Amino acid sequence: SNQLGPIYGHTSVMTGTLLDDHHWHSVVIERQGRSINLTLDRSVQHFRTNGEFDYLDLDYE
């Protein structure tokens, strides 16, 4: 929790595609608020992020 309230925002998505096949892959991430389109090699998955915030943090460890 922080000054703005609780943060319960970690979201994981499985693509179901083998990515360690020694080939290049195309990845596009589009975000509008909490709505995400993840495109992997022309296969699109739509999902909403968890939590109350609407920003994308790519520096997660």
Q: Give the per-residue pLDDT at 27.
A: 92
Q: Give the per-residue pLDDT at 56.
A: 64
- The rounded distance, in Å, linking the Cα atoms of 17 and 25 is 10
- b/e map of 12-44 (b: 16 or more CB within 10 Å)? eeeeeeeeeeeeeeeeeeeeeebebebebeeee
Residue identified by tokens 């992997």 is 40
Task: Identify the domain containing residue 44 by its residue range.
Answer: 1-61
| Count: domains in the chain | 1
Residues 9-53: tens digit of each pLDDT = 677 877 777 888 899 999 999 988 889 899 999 899 999 888 776
- The rounded distance, in Å, linking the Cα atoms of 8 and 6 is 6
Q: Give the per-residue pLDDT at 9.
A: 65
- The rounded distance, in Å, linking the Cα atoms of 37 and 27 is 10
